[in-house]
Structure 1
Amino acid sequence: MSDQNDKLKQLKTSSMDRRLSIAKASLLAGTRWAASSATTMFSNEADKEKKRKKAMKEQADYLVSEIGKLKGSIVKIGQMMALYGEHFLPEEITQALNTLNNQTIALAWPAIKEHLEQQLGSKLNDLTIDHEPLGTASLAQVHRATRKSDGLEIVLKIQYPGVADAIDSDMSLFKNMLKLTRMVPQTREFDQWFDEVREMMHREVDYDIEAATTRRFAERLKDDPRYIVPQIIDDYCTDQILCMTFERGVPINSPVMLSLPQERRNQIGEASLEIAVREIFEWGEMQTDPNFGNYLVRLGNGSDSQDKIILLDFGAIRQFDEHLLSVARNLIQAGYRHDSDEMVRAMTGYEFFDSIPQSIKPDMAKVFLLATEAFSTTANNPDLPEGVMDEQQRYDWKKSQLHSRVMQRASKSMASRYFSVPPKEFMFISRKFIGAYTFMTVIDAKTNVRKMVAKFL
């Protein structure tokens, strides 16, 4: 158990304090960046690039360390930019921003208790609450509790006070920070993604939306024994507290999980991917955060008790229009058939793909064919790596390392002068599938994805 002295006594949500901190850090980083650029003026191109990358990494690391000190919504903004900003942020900046995931510090219990008293009033007396959080994040922390009247075990997702009100000002701070450093090109795509991150931030702190989404997914999956969705407990929900049942499980990368028999891991892996497929083909909305912390597994006994995936977080939900869903479904179907011409046709009629010269589309099709490799078969896909699919058409995710190969191929495509930043909706979908692929790779699952996808085509 961590000491209370290691925790924050309060969050800095004063816009003046935060603005001054970021302004000073940005100006210092920008000055250093300009100075480093000047020192490379007479270097050859190779040395210039090497020094440029080194200087950018140093300044990015410095800025991120300053952001981490502020906590709250600006940290979440940085985390989101790391997750989705790879197409418009330099690699050195996204790598630095990724470290923010390791910098979350809990708010100390006295501050949390005071916040709970303000939110729940006398209802707080109904509960016995663990002072030590189950988990902490940039916008909230989670505490386990027990209802005294009946012993019901629940969790309280407690939004940090002031973070919702600070989102817009923190977004402006973050954007100005990147402008002041002069390390990021200011483009239309950059502005569009910033607007999208702003919308996502506001949705993530809207607990009414998250509660409603949790209920929708619970209703959809109530008759499927492979999944558990926590039940929302309205009595202790407010605009800054989300209360739900406590669900026991183990992390997907825990030793006990990884030591399960192969067949049980296969079934868990298939269930994880089927969620993403159903989101595209049936539900039209997707939980877009692929973080492993959003899943647990409740282990069965291998005979009469089934392993179940616990779906924990529905804050990062994204709804898609029918046109986009139709394109995504057609791309998956072309991958199922492993047909390059069909893949090119599936791109037609969507602005992003239509803007790509016809001569470039076959290369883009290869990226999608690779991404849907597991949906193909040895009979129609001569490009399948040797040994990744067995005689039962089960795809070996660990051996294939598909998630890594897709990222590498996509990076090469992005180097094309015809490439532009893809629509944010496609980024969300691709992130979700890459997350599912990584899930199955981590647990070393072997699954007949083709059979699972066939029922939706």
Structure 2
Amino acid sequence: MWERQHEQAADKIYFMCSDLGGFFLKIAQLLAKPDMAPAAWVKKLVTLCDQAPATPFDAIQLVLEKELGKSIGEIFETFDEKPLGSASIAHVHRAIVKGNKMNVVVKVQHPGIERLMMTDIRNLQLFALYMQRTDIKFDLHSITKEMEKQIGYEFDFKREANAMERIRCFLYENNKKSPVLVPRVLRDMVTKRVLVMEYINGIPILSIGDEMAKRGINPHGKIAEAAKQ
């Protein structure tokens, strides 16, 4: 009985967060963890980590071309209009760069998403202040302020590119063969709202369990242990 109730609740939360977007999508992603919510919720909400409602390509194209100062056709030989994934902040598309034919991934923010999400968080801060003055004797407001700060960082793709490069340098300086691959950033194609990096084929982290089972790999066996070395 409870499982059915959880499934119904998961559907309602999924559609509510999908419709509202912004910070509500971020909350859904946070809830999509086995230690945060019932299994039925996790199964439903985890899809919003990379299969959130997509923004029409025309709107994404406007952001991309405005940020890079050129048309898609001037920069890319091919550009897949269908996104590889869509999450709370950005779309991800595959493309091939003109000239060097490099396979890349293009990460583009949903138009207006920063303003929408920050508005949601500030509304939450007002609610937190109200709750503190009435029922809850706990500093909820400080938590929401920290959320505003940390989530705000996610809207700066230049900052993200810098972090990727620092991690990549550290891994390759300290390992002859790094066990972790970090995509190379195309520096001349990085802005606050657009990030272009090399494409690396792989398995989404959320699908690793299923992929291991498909390949007959015991997650506690020798192969899995060797991969952790």
TM-score normalized by structure 1?
A: 0.39
Equivalent of residue 264 in structure 1, options 213, 223, 227:
223
1:209 deviates by 1.6
Match in the other structure for 1:200: 150
Match in the other structure for 2:201: 248
1:197 deviates by 1.9
Q: Is the 8 A contact 1:146 1:153 kept in 2?
A: yes
SS of the counterpart of 2:192? coil
Rounded Cα–Cα distance in structure 2 between residues aligned with 1:131 and 1:102 = 20
1:160 deviates by 0.8
After superposition, residues 16-31 of structure 1 pair within 5 angstroms as: none
Which amino acid counterpart does residue 152 of structure 1 have in structure 2?
A: M
Equivalent of residue 102 in structure 1, options 27, 37, 47:
47
Match in the other structure for 1:172: 122
Instruction: Give the unaligned 5+ runs of structure 1.
Output: 1-53, 272-457
Q: Is the 8 A contact 1:78 1:97 kept in 2?
A: no
Q: Is the 8 A contact 2:60 2:109 kept in 1?
A: no
After superposition, residues 319-330 of structure 1 pair within 5 angstroms as: none
1:80 deviates by 3.5
1:154 deviates by 0.6
Match in the other structure for 2:83: 133
Q: Is the 8 A contact 2:10 2:45 kept in 1?
A: no
2:26 paired with 1:76: yes
Over 3 Å counting, the alpha-carbon distance change for 1:211 and 1:236 in structure 2 is same
SS of the counterpart of 1:248? coil
1:257 deviates by 7.0
Rounded Cα–Cα distance in structure 1 between residues aligned with 2:166 and 2:95 = 24
SS of the counterpart of 2:105? strand
Rounded Cα–Cα distance in structure 2 between residues aligned with 1:159 and 1:204 = 10
Which amino acid counterpart does residue 241 of structure 1 have in structure 2?
A: V
Which amino acid counterpart does residue 151 of structure 1 have in structure 2?
A: K
Q: Is the 8 A contact 1:115 1:161 kept in 2?
A: yes
Match in the other structure for 2:160: 210
Structure 1 residues 101-151: Cα deviation after superposition (integer angstroms, max 9, x where no partner): 434111222222222222222263120211111111111111011012011
Over 3 Å counting, the alpha-carbon distance change for 1:208 and 1:256 in structure 2 is same
SS of the counterpart of 2:188? helix
TM-score normalized by structure 2?
A: 0.73
Match in the other structure for 1:160: 110
Identity of aligned residues (%): 25
Over 3 Å counting, the alpha-carbon distance change for 1:171 and 1:61 in structure 2 is farther
Rounded Cα–Cα distance in structure 2 between residues aligned with 1:78 and 1:174 = 15
RMSD: 3.7
Match in the other structure for 1:239: 192
Rounded Cα–Cα distance in structure 1 between residues aligned with 2:160 and 2:28 = 21
Rounded Cα–Cα distance in structure 1 between residues aligned with 2:102 and 2:130 = 51
Q: Is the 8 A contact 2:10 2:44 kept in 1?
A: no
Which amino acid counterpart does residue 266 of structure 1 have in structure 2?
A: E
Rounded Cα–Cα distance in structure 2 between residues aligned with 1:108 and 1:224 = 43
Over 3 Å counting, the alpha-carbon distance change for 1:59 and 1:248 in structure 2 is closer
Instruction: Give the unaligned 5+ runs of structure 2.
Output: none
Q: Is the 8 A contact 2:32 2:46 kept in 1?
A: no
Which amino acid counterpart does residue 111 of structure 1 have in structure 2?
A: A
Rounded Cα–Cα distance in structure 1 between residues aligned with 2:194 and 2:150 = 18
Structure 1 residues 2-28: Cα deviation after superposition (integer angstroms, max 9, x where no partner): xxxxxxxxxxxxxxxxxxxxxxxxxxx
After superposition, residues 255-294 of structure 1 pair within 5 angstroms as: 255=212, 258-260=215-217, 262-268=221-227, 270-271=228-229
Structure 1 residues 375-411: Cα deviation after superposition (integer angstroms, max 9, x where no partner): xxxxxxxxxxxxxxxxxxxxxxxxxxxxxxxxxxxxx
Q: Is the 8 A contact 2:32 2:43 kept in 1?
A: yes
Structure 1 residues 179-237: Cα deviation after superposition (integer angstroms, max 9, x where no partner): 999xxx63424333322222221111111221111111101111342221110111211
Q: Is the 8 A contact 1:164 1:205 kept in 2?
A: yes
Rounded Cα–Cα distance in structure 1 between residues aligned with 2:63 and 2:193 = 9
Q: Is the 8 A contact 1:68 1:100 kept in 2?
A: no
Which amino acid counterpart does residue 239 of structure 1 have in structure 2?
A: K
Which amino acid counterpart does residue 135 of structure 1 have in structure 2?
A: G
After superposition, residues 288-367 of structure 1 pair within 5 angstroms as: none
Q: Number of aligned residue pairs: give it.
A: 207
